[in-house]
Amino acid sequence: MSGKTSVFSKRLLKIVTDFSSLLILAAVFLFFEAANALNGDHYLTLSNISVILNQSCFLTIIGVAQALVILTGGLNLSIGSVMAFTTVMWGRMLVGNSPDSVHYLVPMAIIVGAGMAIGLVNGLLITKLKMPPFIATFATMFACRGMAWLALGKKVIYNLNSDFRYLGTGVVERLGAFSITVPMIIVFLLLLGTSFLLTRTNFGRRIYFTGSNPVAARFSGIPTDRVIIWVYVLSTGLAAFAGLLYGARLNSFEPGMATQAPFEAITVALIGGIAITGGFGNIWGVLCGSVIVSTIYNGMNSLSVASELQTLVMGGLIIFAVAFNQFLIKQNMELRNELDDSAPDRTRRPAPGEA
Amino acid sequence: MTAPLLEFRHISKSFPGVKALEDVSVDLRAGEVHVIVGENGAGKSTLMKLLSGAYAADEGELLLEGTPLRKNSPKISEQIGIAMIYQELTLVPELSVADNIFLGHEIHKGPLLNRREMERRTEALLASIGIAVSPRTLLRNLSIANQQMIEITKALSKNAKIIVFDEPTSSLTSAEIAELFRIIAALREKGVGMFYISHRLEEIFEIGDRVTIMRDGKRISTTAIAQTSMDRIVEGIAGRRIENVYTRTPSERGETLFALRNLSGGVFKNVSLQVRSGEIVGVAGLVGSGRSEVARAAFGIDAYKSGDVLVRGKPLPRGNPQTASRAGIAFLPEDRKREGLALSLPIRENTVISALSRLNPRGIIRRRKERAAVQKYVDDLEISTPTVEKLTNFLSGGTQQKVVLAKWLLSQAHTFIFDEPTRGIDIGSKSNIYSLMDELVRQGAGILMISSELPEVLGMSDRIYVMAQGRIAGELSREEANHYAVIQLAFSRPEAAAEGGTPDER
Amino acid sequence: MSASAGRKNRGFGLSLLPNSIFAFLLVFLLASLWVPRFFSPGNLSTLLLQASILIILSIGMSLVIIAGGIDLSMGGVLSMCGVIMALCLSQGMHVLAAILVGLACGGLFGLLNGFFVTRMKVPAFIATFGSMGIAQSIANTLSNKRTIYWEEGSHSSILDFLGGNIIRIEFGPEASMIFYVPFLVVLTVIVVGCIIFLFKRTVLGSYTFAIGENEETARLCGIATQKWTLLLYMISGMMASLAALLVLIRTNSMQPTSGDGLEFQAVVAAVLGGNALEGGKGSLYGAVFGALTLYVVRNSLTLKGIDTSTTMIVIGAVLVGGMILNELAARHERARSRKS
């Protein structure tokens, strides 16, 4: 093969591996379209896509929360319990619409703040007591779930403030059958913000570096403990925020909510191409991951797959997704290297005035 | 004459970008200690890895007692009686001495382990080389030196005919080294053939029968120990490159940038030294003399008990690499892959990591400025890469070292602590790094260079501190320094002199 | 390198006991002092019976953890194997055959986990988490999400014996004064004893430690690391199915959700027992004490009439506290061995 075509095919392959999540998404869409077509149904309608995207919003938020932590080489198992605990503790302030009650932003701030405080505990356990992230967040997971049950028992907080509920259910604009909902806007802004944080700020650079090699990070003068603590504060705070949106959509808060959330979040993040070893991955991949997972859930429902079988599919999916992703990441890095080498030397030499 | 026990014949081996071995032929006779010397990167370890089956040769063949070895793997090499003793131990700390020695080839009684028999044999093996350790002791309860002895015993338990010692003495005290040599002598009597790799030239004359000198992947010479001298070996190792490799231009000495005052902790005691602007200060000493530990403590990586680290005369708060780097200290670790670089990230992100706050004071990255800054250092240091986006994982050792250097240059450090600056770096990049160091001090920086390679220390340093037993044994100016003066100090006993007591052995 | 350099074996002293025994004794002492009725023959018997299931699980978990892995599918496998055994019984299969089927399913599922970890190179945490979902799904599908009962008959008569007591001593008329040893506890002791025996007296133990310490080194020592890792996951799967048997006998029925969350309790017990998640370090005895510690806490809270939700908080706290205690004990030991 001549050098030119091999570079071309490598470039093509690299694009494939770069956008592997998108390709998987397309494959999943096609699969359900075909499967539904057998029943004479149409799966990929504008309204269904809008439903899927709306459903994926919650997954995206917890996925981002998990991805932040995974990027530093950690793990956050406390995500679901924190959602339950914080909303159950202060969710009563969001009940009803009486004019004398406080503005709904006040309890929201309290709840997110409480989540961040628990994140601080996570971070301190990991950095100061040197506990493995798995154990540390596992302990807070138990403790938070217990406190949630203790606070509310078998009761449920319901009938929430309608302005608040708008955050979870509101529709901003209808474009035919496609509805742009408030959660979509929120998630889009969140992704924009997180992406900016990770790629355009010093803090983001330090997150990636710490995740890629914590020892080298420390030796390079990065305050790794502080970076890790902050990441857990953000992640856990984000989890509390996700709990708010979750409650807003369902119009209730209950202590047993979202028990699977930390694991769903891991699935979403890993399918989205975040490396479990840390230091590698693009946050937009998480969006892809959550849309894939939502599509699969939604598609299985459209085919009336029993819920107990859905667990099986998701279980198998996470295993294969991770195996596949590890393979892809390695391929991607090697292709990138080969392409770098075949690029003309020093193409990016700055103009004389620039340096 | 019968065929030698083992023979490497015209071996060549390449790695991407490096020719590690080129037409190397070496043989080993039964009952001899064959010393292999050479600088880091000369190809010694690669040669031994071919023997252990970890690598396969590109060209040439390996003959065992005259018959070519067609295939090799760790398993095969073990079966034919080749044992490797590495610097890093390959033992399991939670298991007993006997279990470790027989790990992988246990003695069974039916389906069960015959512990009694294993312990009995272990005891006999240990006794045969005179080590007084109970076979039941958990390995983690032994000193490093004793663990090393267990490693050797393990090789013996497999009836190894060929044993490779890869720098076995690096973590041993002199009494322990004497003990090791006694064991080696006993093995020689038993007809075991041994390769012995060492950086300590003095040891060669004490233990070796023949010596092979390697340089840049080639065999330079093989001679009987009796027919050579220290000078000739040193010359052989260094080649006639001393003049052209080391670049030193006289430079103006300025203020004291960095100093240690009576620093004590861990394995070092009362270490005082200074580095002034415009000078390269070498720190020599045997491995284990505490050189690296001092540097790590000074940079805040490890804790120290007492004393001060002074930067431009002001004490540096302790225990935190962050404050040290902010104060303008740079640390270039020995193990670049593990401690210096984030291998999954590109050159650009590795280079700017320590200068983020300076480049982007508001915390938001200014891409154009960043790219320009990185490109400037890539050009200045002649980092050979097509683009600054190349992942550092795929760079050669020398280029990686330059990226680490670029990182600290960009952070505007004024004092550079190099820990083994050229370990594992090919000769071309080496001289490149030396001239960079020279350039650095000419521009007013200070360099503290820790190195095991004497020619490097002698060739580059303006002043040399020699450490022994965790203390500064002496200081030599460039004029006073020579091979013998440094060795003399490295083997001195400053501890005994300081306290008038006997040195304590771990 | 003289005789003084080699430290003699310290013999069968305190040092051989796992550090977790201190946490256990502390908790046991506190419970005996503060919780009325805790230190009564009846309650201690109940405690042992309750803890048996977790002890078996945590032994399997510890094996995998010492080898540097983790098995989060244990709870799911428990449910799955329990449902399979119960279905076999309800179909009139003989108990012993049903048990064999259950054990085989557990072992096979463990092998599947091992395959994911060794061949597909999926991190153990992810692989076994995924297979947890698979196992739960199978349990729910087979049982139709309902509790399974079976008609008693000759084929199930051994169950009465298995569910009975071996020893029964009455210290008084009240139930709390009757000390009894259920057969299940004896079974647990036998199983745990066997595993510990195999661990100590065959290569199983040394290979597990070697793989957990450094898989590459173990491979260079000639250990077939992949095969042994597969075996360890298989054992842990079989432990889960054994635990399922205990649940089945105790409740005389089987719910498809019996195992939910038990894998986490097993991790807690193993970690409390001094098994480090990074592998290469730990003790099976330790896991037994870890499991007992957990149940002493749960039992005393129940006796005090404290809500189960508090138990969860306490488990979290016990975990953190236990980790700190273990770390302190290890530090103390290191300091002592440095001095001597």
Rounded mean pLDDT, A12-18? 82
Question: B54 and B82 in contact (C-beta within 8 Å)?
Answer: no
Residue in A142, A153, A315 nearest the CB of C130: A315
Q: What is the pLDDT of residue B476?
A: 93
Q: What is the pLDDT of residue B118?
A: 93
| Cα–Cα distance for residue pair C240/C234, rounded to 1 Å | 10
Question: A180 and A117 in contact (C-beta within 8 Å)?
Answer: no
- Are B216 and B199 part of one and the same domain? yes
- Are B402 and B422 part of one and the same domain? no
Those residues whose C-beta lies under 8 Å from the C-beta of residue C253, and which sit 6 or more positions away, are C86, C147, C148, C149
> The tokens of A50 are what?
């809008």
Q: pLDDT grade, residue B16 (50/70/90)? A: low
How buried is residue B227: exposed, middle or buried, by Cβ count under 10 Å (0-12/13-18/19+)? exposed
In order of C50, C80, C106, C146, C210, the CA distances from C83 in angstroms are 20, 5, 12, 10, 36
Domain count, chain C: 1
Neighbours of chain A (3+ CB pairs under 8 A): B, C
Q: What is the pLDDT of residue A99?
A: 66
C210/B133 CB distance under 8 A = no
Whether residue A5 is predicted with pLDDT greater than 80 in this model: the reply is no
Identify which has the larger pLDDT, A20 or A4: A20
Q: What is the pLDDT of residue B1?
A: 53
Whether residue A137 is predicted with pLDDT greater than 50 in this model: the reply is yes
Residue B164 within a domain: yes
Q: What is the pLDDT of residue C333?
A: 66
- Are B353 and B309 part of one and the same domain? no
Whether residue C6 is predicted with pLDDT greater than 70 in this model: the reply is no
A349/B379 CB distance under 8 A = yes
Taking only the tens place, the pLDDT of each residue in B230-251 is 778 877 876 655 445 677 887 8
Q: pLDDT grade, residue B500 (50/70/90)? A: very low
Taking only the tens place, the pLDDT of each residue in C220-235 is 788 899 999 999 999 9
Whether residue C340 is predicted with pLDDT greater than 70 in this model: the reply is no
User: Which phi-psi region, left, alpha or beta, contains residue A331 (left: φ > 0; alpha: ψ -120 to 50)?
Assistant: alpha
Rounded mean pLDDT, C119-137? 92
B176/C1 CB distance under 8 A = yes
Q: How far apart are the first and last CA of chain C?
A: 15
Q: Which amino acid is at A310?
A: Q
Q: What is the pLDDT of residue A343?
A: 62
| Cα–Cα distance for residue pair C178/C212, rounded to 1 Å | 44
| Cα–Cα distance for residue pair C258/A343, rounded to 1 Å | 59
Torsion of the alpha carbons at B302, B307, B311 and B315, rounded to the nearest 10:
110
Task: Report the Cα C229 to chain-centroid distance in Å.
Answer: 18
Which DSSP helix (H) or strand (E) runs through C158? helix C157-162
B132/C5 CB distance under 8 A = yes
- Are B378 and B260 part of one and the same domain? no
Whether residue B485 is predicted with pLDDT greater than 80 in this model: the reply is yes
C132 at the A interface (CB within 8 A)? Answer: yes
Q: How far is C131 from chain A (nearest CA, A)?
A: 6
Identify which has the larger pLDDT, C176 or B123: B123
How buried is residue A5: exposed, middle or buried, by Cβ count under 10 Å (0-12/13-18/19+)? exposed
- Are B226 and B82 part of one and the same domain? yes
Neighbours of chain C (3+ CB pairs under 8 A): A, B
Q: What is the pLDDT of residue B387?
A: 86
Taking only the tens place, the pLDDT of each residue in A320-340 is 888 888 888 888 888 888 787
- Are B206 and B313 part of one and the same domain? no
Whether residue C250 is predicted with pLDDT greater than 70 in this model: the reply is yes
Whether residue B408 is predicted with pLDDT greater than 90 in this model: the reply is yes
Q: pLDDT grade, residue B11 (50/70/90)? A: very high
Residue C335 within a domain: no
- Are B322 and B449 part of one and the same domain? yes
Cα dihedral sign, C123-C128-C133-C135: positive
Residue C304 within a domain: no
* ipTM confidence score: 0.85
CATH number of the domain where residue B437 is located: 3.40.50.300
Question: B91 and B151 in contact (C-beta within 8 Å)?
Answer: yes
- Are B179 and B229 part of one and the same domain? yes
CA B213-B217-B222 angle, 5° bins: 25
Taking only the tens place, the pLDDT of each residue in B321-368 is 999 999 999 999 988 888 999 998 999 999 999 999 889 999 999 989
**Topology classification of domain A45-298:** ABC transporter involved in vitamin B12 uptake, BtuC (1.10.3470)
Residue in A140, A150, A308 nearest the CB of C310: A150
| Cα–Cα distance for residue pair C44/C303, rounded to 1 Å | 12
Whether residue B146 is predicted with pLDDT greater than 60 in this model: the reply is yes
Rounded mean pLDDT, A72-99? 90
Residue B1 within a domain: no
Question: B279 and B252 in contact (C-beta within 8 Å)?
Answer: no
Whether residue C5 is predicted with pLDDT greater than 70 in this model: the reply is no
Q: How far is A323 from chain C (nearest CA, A)?
A: 5
Query: What angle do the packed helices C124-143 and C95-118 form, to 10 degrees?
Result: 150
Q: What is the pLDDT of residue C17?
A: 61
> The tokens of B304 are what?
């120290």
Question: A293 and A56 in contact (C-beta within 8 Å)?
Answer: yes
Whether residue A101 is predicted with pLDDT greater than 50 in this model: the reply is yes
Residue in B364, B368, B379 nearest the CB of A200: B364
- Are B341 and B460 part of one and the same domain? no
Q: pLDDT grade, residue C337 (50/70/90)? A: low
Strand partners, A261: none
Taking only the tens place, the pLDDT of each residue in B56-66 is 888 898 898 88
Q: Which of B120-124, B256-260, C32-36 has the lowest mean pLDDT?
A: C32-36
Strand partners, B224: B210
Taking only the tens place, the pLDDT of each residue in C55-71 is 999 999 999 999 999 99
Residue B194 within a domain: yes
| Cα–Cα distance for residue pair C85/C139, rounded to 1 Å | 11
Q: How far is B466 from chain A (nearest CA, A)?
A: 25
- Are B438 and B392 part of one and the same domain? no
Taking only the tens place, the pLDDT of each residue in B274-330 is 999 999 999 998 767 888 889 999 999 888 889 999 999 999 988 789 999 999 999
B133/C6 CB distance under 8 A = yes
Q: Which amino acid is at C84?
A: I
CB atoms within 10 A of CB B139: 20
Residue B218: domain span: 6-240
Q: Whole-number mean pLDDT of chain B?
A: 85
Residue B403 within a domain: yes
Residue C174: domain span: 53-259+276-282
Whether residue C175 is predicted with pLDDT greater than 60 in this model: the reply is yes
C 321-340 residues inside an 8 A Cβ radius of A: 323-324, 327
Neighbours of chain B (3+ CB pairs under 8 A): A, C
> The tokens of A43 are what?
């799966």
C206/B103 CB distance under 8 A = yes
Whether residue C336 is predicted with pLDDT greater than 70 in this model: the reply is no
B48 in helix, strand or coil? helix
Share of chain B above pLDDT 90, in %: 36
Share of chain A above pLDDT 70, in %: 94
Question: C266 and C57 in contact (C-beta within 8 Å)?
Answer: yes
Q: pLDDT grade, residue A80 (50/70/90)? A: very high
> The tokens of C149 are what?
């009962």
Cα dihedral sign, B402-B404-B409-B410: positive
Residue in C5, C7, C213 nearest the CB of B92: C213
Q: What is the pLDDT of residue B380?
A: 87
B448 at the C interface (CB within 8 A)? Answer: no
Taking only the tens place, the pLDDT of each residue in B93-116 is 889 999 999 988 888 888 899 999
Which of these, B361, B440, B444, B362, lies nearest to B408 by C-alpha position?
Answer: B440
Question: B420 and B451 in contact (C-beta within 8 Å)?
Answer: yes
Q: What is the pLDDT of residue B337?
A: 85
Question: B223 and B210 in contact (C-beta within 8 Å)?
Answer: yes
Domain count, chain B: 3
Q: Which amino acid is at A137?
A: T
A330 at the C interface (CB within 8 A)? Answer: no
The two beta strands, B193-197 and B33-37, are: parallel
Residue in C133, C308, C320 nearest the CB of A125: C320
Residue C88 within a domain: yes
Interface test with B, best of C1, C339, C340 (most B CBs within 10 A): C1
Q: What is the pLDDT of residue C330?
A: 67
Torsion of the alpha carbons at B303, B309, B315 and B317, rounded to the nearest 10:
-20
B106 at the C interface (CB within 8 A)? Answer: yes
Residue C14 within a domain: no
Find tokens 């667990």 and name the residue.
A311
Those residues whose C-beta lies under 8 Å from the C-beta of residue B222, and which sit 6 or more positions away, are B26, B210, B211, B212, B213
Q: pLDDT grade, residue A1 (50/70/90)? A: very low
From B332, which residue of chain A is nearest by alpha-carbon distance? A219
Which of these, B455, B343, B331, B345, lies nearest to B397 by C-alpha position?
Answer: B343
A346/B368 CB distance under 8 A = no
Rounded mean pLDDT, A130-137? 89
Q: What is the pLDDT of residue B410?
A: 92
C1/B90 CB distance under 8 A = no
- Are B66 and B107 part of one and the same domain? yes
Question: A270 and A318 in contact (C-beta within 8 Å)?
Answer: yes
Task: Report the Cα B450 to chain-centroid distance in Å.
Answer: 11
3-state helix, strand, coil in chain B (%, to 5): 40, 25, 35
Q: What is the pLDDT of residue B260?
A: 94
Q: Which of A62-71, B35-44, B381-390 has the lowest mean pLDDT?
A: B35-44
Identify which has the larger pLDDT, B429 or C196: C196
Q: pLDDT grade, residue A214 (50/70/90)? A: very high
- Are B404 and B448 part of one and the same domain? no
| Cα–Cα distance for residue pair B412/B415, rounded to 1 Å | 9
- Chain C hits for A305, CB-CB cut-off 8 Å, are none
